[in-house]
Structure 1
Amino acid sequence: MACVSQSVSFDKCHCGQRSQSSILYSILNKDHPSESSLCHYRHHHHSSAPGCSCEFRRKVVLKTPELTCRRASEVLLKTLNFIKNLPSFCQLPEGDQVLLVQNCWAPLFVLGLAQERVDFEVGEAVAPSLLRKILLNQKVIDGQNSETALNATSLAEVQKVKIFLMKLWNMDVSNKEYAYLKGITLFNPDVPSLRMPQYILALQHEAQHTLNEFITMVNNGDQARFAQILLILSTLRTVSTTSITELFFRPVLGKVNMNELLLEMLCVKLN
C-alpha cells in the first residue's frame, strides 16, 4: 500500500518549465506529459514551486477505473446498508432521511473507503491537441478523451482524500470507531430544510459521547486519541462531493445524478 505524506503531489511541477524539445514535438505533446509524470505518490515530503497552482489546475483520473469503481460501488452499497440498519435513522421523518443521505453520502463514502482499506492510484487526464490528432491520423471527432479531461478531478481534491485515508490508516481505527464516526457524520444538524434538526443534533452528540467512552475504555483513559480522530474527521468537510462523483462513479455510471440515484436506492432499502 502506498504511503502518502501530508504534501502529496506529482513527482514534478510543470509550472514555468521550458521545453528542451523541438517546436513540433512540443506542439504535438501539448498538455500531454510523459508517462513518468503520472501520479506517483512519494514516501517523503515534496513541495511545488512557490505560488504553484498545479494541484488545482491539473486534472487526474483513476489508473484502474474498472477495479477501483467496482470497489467504490461495493463501498457505497455497504454505506447505505449501514445507514438502513441504524434504528435512530429509521425513526426520522422520510424527508429528513433523504436530506441527510443526499448531503452526507460523500464523506460517509470516504469513511467507507478508509474502513475497507481501498487504495487507488491516479494519472493525469489530458486531451490530445487537434494538431496532434491530425498529424498522427487520429480521429478528430472523438470527444471521449476531451470529455474525460474536462470532467476529471483536480489533483488537489485527490490529495485531500488520500491524506485523510492515510491518517486514519496510520491510527489503525477499529470497526467500532468507524461506526461511531459514520454516525457523527450522518447526523449533521446543519443540513438545510431538516424538520428535526435538534433531534439530529442530539443523535450526533450521542455518537460523539459513545465514541469518547469507547476510546477511553480501550485506551485506559487517554483522551488524545478521541481529539485527534475528531480533528481528522473535520477535514472531510472540505472534500468535494462533485469530485468524489467524477472520480469514482462517472467512469461507470456516466452522467448520472447522484441525488436521484441515492433517492432511488434509499427508497428500495426503505420499502
Structure 2
Amino acid sequence: MKMAYSKKDLCCQCVPTKATNTMLYSLLMDPQRRPSSTGSSCCHSNTESETDPQQGVLDLSMRNSQQKHRSSESSDSEKPATVLHRLAPEHYAMIHHAASQVLIQTIDFMRKLPAFTYLPPNDQMLLLMRSWHEIVAIGVAQEKVPIDTVSVPAPPCECCTGAEMHWGGTPPPTLTMPGCILSSDLDDIQQFVMKYQSLDLDCKEAAYLKAAVLFTPVPGLAHPHYIEALQKEAQQALNEYTMMTRPLETLRFARILLMVPLLRGIKQEPITELFFRPLIANVRMEDVLRQMLFT
C-alpha cells in the first residue's frame, strides 16, 4: 500500500458511595456506637468470674482483644489524607506557557498530516479526543517541559464523608481539586517522560510515534480499516528509520513501541488539570480542542 502521507510531513468529582441508611452506616463504621453482644450479661460478670475463674480469664482476654481492635481502628482513622500535586508556584507561568506551546504544536502536527485532514470531520474529532493527551505527553517529554510540583493535602468535604469511610479513611481515587492531580497520575506521567528521555528520540522518531498513536482505531469511525492501515504504515516507517539511522541498536524500534503501554496509562483528566485547567477555567477541553482543530 502506498504511503498515505509524506515522510517530510512528520517533522474530580466525589464518588457517590454513601450508605442508604445513614444511621445504620454510622453504627457499622463507629465501633463505639455498636451494640454490645454481651451487654445483657455484663451485670453477672462478677458473679460468674467468682464461681468460674476460667470464665473470668476469658472475659479479660476478650476485653483486651476489643481494646486492641478499637486501638487499631483509631490508628486507621488517623491516616493522613490523600496527597494531591500541583505545579510549583515559582515555575507556574513558565510551565503553563510551555505546555500551551506543546498543545499548539500537537494540533499543528495533526493539521499538517494529509492523511488526517482527508478524513471526515467526525473521524478527525474521534481520533483527536482519543489521543490528544498522549501526544501532548510525548511533546512534554520531547520539549523537556519541567514537571515541578508541590504536594497539597486533599481537603475534606462533607459530600465525600461516606466515600472516605468506604475507602478506609482515605478519599476515593477520583477525588481531586482544580489544577491538582493524584500521586498515582503524576507517577504515570513522570514514568513515561523518564522512559522517553532515556531513549533520547530524535524529532523524526517522535513524529512517527505520534502518528502511530494518533491513528488508533476507535469505535464510531467511518473508516476504521483505513485508520488501522495508517497506524501500521507509521510503525513501519519508524522501524525503517531506526534501522537506517541506528543500525547497531537492533532493539530500538521495539523499545520505542514499548512506551505505548506507558502512554495508555496516562489519563486525559490529569493532563488537563495539571497543565491546562488554570488556562481554560471551566471550559471543556473537548470544546477547546475542537475550536483549535477546525478554526
| TM score, norm. by length of structure 1 | 0.68
1:264 equivalent to 2:285? Answer no
Select 2:83's aligned residue among 55, 58, 65. Answer: 58
Q: What's the secondary structure of 1:249's corresponding residue?
A: helix
1:110 equivalent to 2:137? Answer yes
What corresponds to 2:10 in structure 1?
none
In structure 1, C-alpha distance between the alignment counterparts of 2:87 and 2:199, rounded to whole Å: 26
Please give the residue correspondences for 1:102-251 in structure 2 after superposition, counting only pairs within 5 Å: 102-126=129-153, 150-151=177-178, 152-189=180-217, 191-220=218-247, 222-251=249-278
In structure 2, C-alpha distance between the alignment counterparts of 1:73 and 1:205, rounded to whole Å: 30
Q: What's the secondary structure of 1:179's corresponding residue?
A: helix
* Residues 201-240 of structure 1: CA deviation (Å, up to 9, x unaligned): 0000000000000011112264311111100122111101
In structure 1, C-alpha distance between the alignment counterparts of 2:241 and 2:154, rounded to whole Å: 50
1:96 equivalent to 2:96? Answer no
In structure 2, C-alpha distance between the alignment counterparts of 1:149 and 1:261, rounded to whole Å: 22
Q: 2:134, 2:213 within 8 Å by CA — same for their partners in 1?
A: yes
In structure 2, C-alpha distance between the alignment counterparts of 1:67 and 1:79, rounded to whole Å: 18
Q: What's the secondary structure of 2:220's corresponding residue?
A: coil
Please, what is the CA RMSD of the aligned residues?
A: 2.1
Aligned AA (2:203): N
1:69 equivalent to 2:96? Answer yes
Q: 2:82, 2:153 within 8 Å by CA — same for their partners in 1?
A: no
Greater alpha carbon shift after TM alignment, 214-223 vs 194-203: 214-223
Aligned AA (2:229): A
* Residues 38-91 of structure 1: CA deviation (Å, up to 9, x unaligned): xxxxxxxxxxxxxxxx9x932110003211111111100011101100011111
How many pairs were matched up? 196
Q: 1:126, 1:149 within 8 Å by CA — same for their partners in 2?
A: no
In structure 2, C-alpha distance between the alignment counterparts of 1:261 and 1:159, rounded to whole Å: 26
What corresponds to 1:14 in structure 2?
none
Aligned-pair identity in percent equals 38
In structure 2, C-alpha distance between the alignment counterparts of 1:79 and 1:253, rounded to whole Å: 17
In structure 2, C-alpha distance between the alignment counterparts of 1:197 and 1:128, rounded to whole Å: 44
What corresponds to 1:6 in structure 2?
none
Structure 1: any 5+ residue segments left out of the alignment? 1-53, 131-147
CA shift in 2, pair 1:229/1:129, >3 Å: closer
| TM score, norm. by length of structure 2 | 0.63
In structure 2, C-alpha distance between the alignment counterparts of 1:149 and 1:258, rounded to whole Å: 17
Aligned AA (1:165): V
In structure 2, C-alpha distance between the alignment counterparts of 1:219 and 1:254, rounded to whole Å: 45
CA shift in 2, pair 1:176/1:124, >3 Å: same
Higher helix share: 2
